[in-house]
Amino acid sequence: MKIALKLAYLGEGYYGFQRQPDLVTVDSEVRRALSQIGVIHGDFCYAGRTDRGVSALGQVIDFWIDEDKAALARPRCVNGRLPRDIWSWAWAV
């Protein structure tokens, strides 16, 4: 099944959204959190990106997940693994 998460973040401490080698990005932090809770093992898609230091309120990502793990992708679960300046505030199946 496919899950969409709506994210918000304060971009001051990040080198933008998009993954970059050897730099801390929003993508790398979200990917780390989702991997830690076991809901993704590969890529996710996203709609748009931001540059270094830019914040966002409605960044959407989506990814495929096993149906039995869908509850783990709820914002409350994901937020427990994210840094305080990145959070998920909505989801859709």
Catalytic center residues: 51
Cβ–Cβ under 8 Å, residues 88 and 33: no
Q: How many CA atoms lie within 13 A of 87 on its CB side?
A: 7
- Tell me which residue of 15, 19, 17, 33 sits closest to 83, measured CA to CA: 33
- Chain centroid to CA 54: 16
